A and B are shown apart, each in its own frame.
Chain A
Amino acid sequence: MTATFAQPAAATAPILSAMRRRRLAALAVPAVILAYFAYIFVSFDIAGLAQRARMDNAAILLADFVSHKVHVSRDNRSGTLVSAIEGEAKGTYPDGTHPDWVTVEPSRTVIDLGGGHVVTYDEAGARYDVPGYGLIDIRPEGGGLHLTAPEPLPDWINASGNRVTVTTDAGRFTYTRSKVETFRYFAGWELFFFTLDSPYHGKGALALLGGLMTGERIDPARANIIGMAEDFWNNRMWRHGDVAWAIFETILMAFLGTFGAAIISLPLAFLAARNFNLLAPVRFALRRVFDFVRGVDGLIWTIILSRAFGPGPMTGALAILITDIGSFGKTFSEALENIDEKQVEGVRSTGATAFQRARFGVIPQVTPVLLSQVLYYLESNTRSATVVGAIVGGGIGLMLTQAIQTQKDWEEVAYYMVLIILMVMLMDSFSGWLRRKLIKGE
């Protein structure tokens, strides 16, 4: 045994040194990555980010994703009282009506926020009774507001001369000289099915489902099922009809772009393949064109095209089309160069023309490769179409960026996000199914 260890000592030396090198490399890679992250940390100013981050915005966003609020506001000058869901005109309760937790009496309004929190608006001003703390009383005096509340003031009461804001778990209360406003929060998305002006609002799911086909007509003019479908589809708050159309438009952009690019690049790929085109300069030129188209990037094509064609889904489809011509041209011509020449030979021996050779000798060989490529792109382009749509102004991407830019309709953002995820997953499984069906013939 000793002999076998001792004897190859000379032979093991290079192996051992190679091992040492590899161990060093194995340590160096994490070290380099770590150093790079340290550089990024400094370069992106991540330390300063903690201060710049608006955590209150994050709280608003997350709360809005899963809940909604109802505003009960009084104009202090005219005395008019309005209840509105999310404070939007579309969600305003019809004249003189209010949610059942708001009691309107001739001289005062009592708002029950639940859990013992009660807000009262009266002629002298407003009061907020917070359980466990006491009564917050606000009345306008001279040019400012006079606040009476148990001292010391907690940090959830924010008071200045012209404005008092109280934020509790039950809701939010704001008093300014012109207006007093109370928010009460509720779980869930508001008016998702029917808006307040629909006769089906607030009827309860079981009652509506039970009376879907039979039962008394809630709206005498329409059958229940038709009325419900119409009111849901034309919901002014959520615009389900428009959203469905936008999703369709996005898929349309991806579909037209991907297949249009495939149709255009197939003949070009023949011209760029070594075994079909003997003119080297043409091949070279075409390849550079493909490289150029790919290199210019979808963003720039999108900008150039939207200048020429104006905003809309066709512009988006063309942007996807042009970008994909570069990728398809490259991969298609590579697939064509890798075909088995024997089949072409066989077709040629029957006296077939060049077109027939391509049709019967080449296409059947490359179809599976090309088709799987195209279907893969179809799926990935559905996602790109969302982004392209945001830039050219079409489809769900546009609705999404608009909803984000208003910075208050986050529940709609959440809704669109869910729909986009579902849409992409659907396209993913659809293209996978089609691929199996067409290629493997299952």
Chain B
Amino acid sequence: MVDVAFGPEPGKKPATPAAAYLHDLRRKRLYGGLLLIFFVASMASGFLVAQERNAGDFLDGLQRLGDFPSEVFAEAWDKRGNLPGLMWAAVPSLIETVNIALASTLIGALVAAFLSLLMTRGIARWPRLIPVLRRVTDAFRALPEIVIALMLIYILGGGAVPAMIAIALHTTGALGKLFSEVAENADLKPIEGLSSVGATWGQQMWFGVIPQVAPNWLSYALLRFEINVRASAILGFVGAGGIGYELKIAMQWGGGRYDQVVAIFLVLFLTIVVIDRLSDRGREKLVTGR
């Protein structure tokens, strides 16, 4: 009743539900509007800054966007007879790229599996290590593959191994976090049961936790494999072997070898699509059990 006499206190919500609703709505709209204005402004100014720092102009570039692909495809079309042979010739380097991805995913996943058990609350062997291991995996995850790869190329020389190590390190970081999130949701009762019969920590993990988390872990590892195939193609482009390197060499040659560019491109595209499909199917099967 005091409100009726003196009006609502400043900052207090109006009394009737309708007024309160409208008040909330207005505030929400105001915040939403401000956020939108801020967002649009930062997008626009960011775009202008990026364009100013760029060598070419956006609108000019848009017109030239089709030039390079059409030049490449026109030449490849003229020499379309070469394509099957060139595609076949690209297969060994493709296998190297896929091997880099597969080996690094396997190594990364195995290390990540071990680390994730050590950094999950409730099942860790040494709980004091949890924060340390988390920071370490955070750092592994934050480091782009290219940094490690380029430094290793300096030490080990060009080739597949620097790329493999670089991707494996990043994979360890990325999967370690995801694996540990899965393990956090694992049921602890099997561990209790196992420890009551005197199982060691390793046995508790192997028989109590791994069977619970295996499907999700595998599904994450498959997704990572997809990502790593792309990453290993990109690392090849900076000198770490595989099909990316072949592509770079062919591109640097410029006109005259565009048929090879298209052949490599087609092989890479088909591989990525096939691997995506297979891993999609595999993950669905793992997660839904069908």
Contacts and interface: CB of A to CB of B under 8 A. Distances in A.
A252 B145 contact: no
Contact of B155 (A36, A54, A311, A312): A54
Contact of B237 (A294, A309, A391): A391
Contacts of A291: 273
A255 interface: yes
Interface string A259-273: 110000000000000
A386 B230 contact: no
A45 B161 CA distance: 9
B50 A252 contact: yes
B93 interface: no
Contacts of B57: 309
B68 A308 contact: yes
A417 interface: yes
A202 interface: no
Nearest to A401: B150
A428 B142 contact: yes
Contact of A312 (B56, B68, B159, B244): B56
Contacts of B268: 297, 300
A303 B251 contact: yes
A299 interface: yes
A400 interface: yes
Given A299-B234, A313-B53, A424 B150 contact: no
Contacts of A421: 139, 142-143
A390 interface: yes
Q: Is the interface of A mostly helix, strand, loop or mixed?
A: helix
B272 to A, nearest CB: 5
A153 interface: no
A394 B53 contact: yes
A401 B138 CA distance: 23
A58 B47 CA distance: 41
A31 B251 CA distance: 41
Nearest to B226: A294
Contact of A260 (B43, B53, B269): B43
Contacts of A407: 154
A144 interface: no
Contacts of A425: 138-139, 142
A249 B52 CA distance: 12
Contact of A53 (B151, B156, B237): B156
A424 B69 CA distance: 33
Interface string B133-171: 000001101111111001100111101110010000000
B156 A314 contact: no
A304 B69 contact: yes
Given A53-B156, A295-B273, A312-B56, A386 B146 contact: yes
B47 A308 contact: no
A43 interface: yes
Contacts of B106: 33, 36-37
B103 A40 contact: yes
A44 B146 CA distance: 19
Contacts of B56: 308-310, 312, 315
A397 interface: yes
Nearest to A393: B55
A312 B230 CA distance: 22
B15 interface: no
Interface string A26-62: 0000000100110010011110010011110110010
Contacts of A255: 42-43, 46
B96 to A, nearest CB: 8
A383 B161 contact: no
Contacts of B184: none
Interface stretch (B5-13, B59-67, B82-90, B194-202): B59-67
Nearest to A423: B142
A25 B107 CA distance: 20
20 contacts: A36-B102, A44-B99, A57-B154, A253-B50, A291-B273, A299-B230, A304-B65, A309-B54, A309-B58, A314-B50, A387-B145, A391-B234, A391-B237, A394-B53, A400-B146, A401-B150, A404-B154, A407-B154, A424-B142, A424-B144
Interface of B: 39, 42-43, 46-47, 49-51, 53-58, 61-62, 64-65, 67-69, 96, 99, 102-103, 106, 138-139, 141-147, 150-151, 154-157, 159-161, 164, 230, 233-234, 237-238, 244, 247, 251, 265, 268-269, 272-273, 276
Given A309-B54, A421-B143, 17 more contacts: A37-B106, A40-B103, A44-B99, A44-B161, A53-B155, A259-B39, A295-B269, A299-B234, A308-B61, A311-B54, A311-B55, A312-B53, A312-B55, A387-B145, A387-B146, A401-B150, A420-B142
Which 8 pairs, one residue from A and one from B, show the smallest C-beta to C-beta distance? A312-B54, A310-B55, A310-B56, A309-B61, A424-B142, A314-B54, A307-B68, A314-B50
